[in-house]
Amino acid sequence: LEVIASVEPRVAEATRQELADQRGSLKLIASENYASPATLLTMGTWFSDKYAEGTVGHRFYAACQNVDTVESLAAEHARELFGAPYAYVQPHSGIDANLVAFWSILANRVETPTLQRLGAKNVNELTEEDWETLRHEFGNQRLLGMSLDAGGHLTHGFRPNISGKMFHQQQYGTDPETGLLDYDVVRAKAQEFRPLVLVAGYSAYPRRVNFAKMREIADEVGAVLMVDMAHFAGLVAGKVFTGDEDPIPHAQIVTTTTHKSLRGPRGGLVLAQEEFAADVDRGCPMVLGGPLSHVMAAKAVALAEARQPEFRTYAQHIADNAKSLAEGFLTRGAKLVTGGTDNHLVLLDVSGFGLTGRQAESALLDAGVVTNRNSVPGDPNGAWYTSGIRFGTPALTTRGFGHEEFDTVADLVVEVLSKTRPGTNKAGAPSKATYATEDGVADRVKDRAAEM
């Protein structure tokens, strides 16, 4: 920090404060974690200064021999860790990984057959008229994914996202009564819509998915099954999700972030079966430019960590702790979407406290409990105010929290929410954003959170 402070002291101070904030509060955002010092340090090296467009051994820049080493290592660790035939470690983020996956599927299932039909060996042989035909084919494809309010991600076909614009899209939700995925409904939708891509995976669904069943559905309609395991990759790596719940043997393409439950640097990763390997390998130039060489190096370090036996224990603790947190809420009378959890997250419906998600999130933050508001299925408060709070256990599990600590977390959360009332706006009308917590509660909880 001294070196940074000698150039821009305000950045040094913000960095110091960020560490104090992250350690002094309860980090319960389901998509966050604490990467290891080795992973963090690897991101701050000279690889940051190196351009390396292309792939290993086939670069558009000179002097990429060391980047080749770290990229190969990261891919090797990813293949070994997940038991996947092919791994692509260049995507800068989860969204980039999903874009690479979409375009690989389009390349494999649309571009190649179109080129064959047009009698061209590759796109360089296309005439302007052929290009128009190809663009039309690309623009005419369908994607079916989980809706945002049921727990899906923006990139799974949400209309305002690029995925909802580049594809004709439809969404599947969860059962309105149970909050659970209904595979018969997914099957019926798939049979009617006949998508090219069926996306499984989620950001806020507190249950496991049967990927074998999803693959069956995809096969029945000739779709490619793509699984976005960004949230639960750590549970797959740690063998908490096995058999039908492990996406790797079932999906043709699996994408993930590397920074959530997997506990690596911020970044993306694509795993693919052989059939799609060559297409995914064209991520650059198809979607990406120069990879973040320093982050690929950090991916290699974090993936090596995840291959250690201790990571399996860590992953099991993530799931056990989520159960403890859910039980803590349920025994204190709180309502959970799907009635519980069997992954790393818990979705609390805060309407029972008379609050919106926005009010609950702010009241908890005042008390040193860092979460994010989240829609619940069929949310009457929409995606901005919401009626839910999402809690994840990966970060505090890294800090060594166990059953007792998570029960205390549930106690602190319920104490804050049960002592918070909705407020009014300037005109005195009910507001979905303002709130008031009883005097002294936030400070008391904040002190307890800082001591944990």
Binding site for ligand PLP (CB under 6 A): 31, 93-95, 98, 153, 155, 201, 203, 228, 230-231, 257
Enumerate residues 6+ apart whose C-beta is below 8 A from 255.
Answer: 91, 94, 97, 98, 100, 101, 201, 226, 227, 228, 229, 230, 268, 269, 270, 271
Least distance (Å) from ligand PLP to the CB of residue 266? 6
Instruction: Name which of 215 and 390 has its Cβ closer to ligand PLP.
Output: 390
Q: How far apart are CA 174 and CA 63, in angstroms?
A: 51
Q: How far apart are CA 41 and CA 94, in angstroms?
A: 22
Instruction: Name which of 169 and 203 has its Cβ closer to ligand PLP.
Output: 203
Q: Reading across the β-sheet that carries 197-201, which strands appear in turn?
A: 86-88, 268-272, 253-257, 224-228, 197-201, 142-146, 168-172
Q: How many CB atoms lie within 10 A of CB 229?
A: 31
Phi and psi at 349, nearest 5°, equal -90, 110
148 labelled binding-site residue: yes
* CA nearest neighbour of 204 among 241, 179, 237: 179
Amino acid sitting at position 229: M
**Which residue number is nearest to ligand PLP in terms of Cβ?**
94
Least distance (Å) from ligand PLP to the CB of residue 92? 8
Least distance (Å) from ligand PLP to the CB of residue 342? 17
Cis check: omega of the bond before 285, within 30 degrees of 0: yes
Question: What Rg do the C-alpha atoms of the chain give, in angstroms?
Answer: 23
Instruction: Name which of 181 and 412 has its Cβ closer to ligand PLP.
Output: 181
- On whether the CB atoms of residues 416 and 363 are closer than 8 A, the answer is yes
152 labelled binding-site residue: yes
Q: How far apart are CA 102 and CA 169, in angstroms?
A: 13
Least distance (Å) from ligand PLP to the CB of residue 197? 14
Helix-helix angle 441-451:403-418, to 10 degrees: 170
1 labelled binding-site residue: no
267 labelled binding-site residue: no
Sign of torsion over alpha carbons 360, 361, 363, 369:
positive
153 labelled binding-site residue: yes
Instruction: Name which of 257 and 397 has its Cβ closer to ligand PLP.
Output: 257
Q: How far apart are CA 110 and CA 122, in angstroms?
A: 13
* CA nearest neighbour of 243 among 200, 208, 206: 208
Three-class SS state of 382: helix
Instruction: Name which of 265 and 368 has its Cβ closer to ligand PLP.
Output: 265
Least distance (Å) from ligand PLP to the CB of residue 121? 35
Least distance (Å) from ligand PLP to the CB of residue 315? 18
Count of residues in the chain? 452
Least distance (Å) from ligand PLP to the CB of residue 322? 16
- On whether the CB atoms of residues 315 and 235 are closer than 8 A, the answer is yes
| Residue ranges of the binding site | 148, 152-154, 274
Bind-site residues for (6S)-5,6,7,8-tetrahydrofolate:
148, 152-154, 274
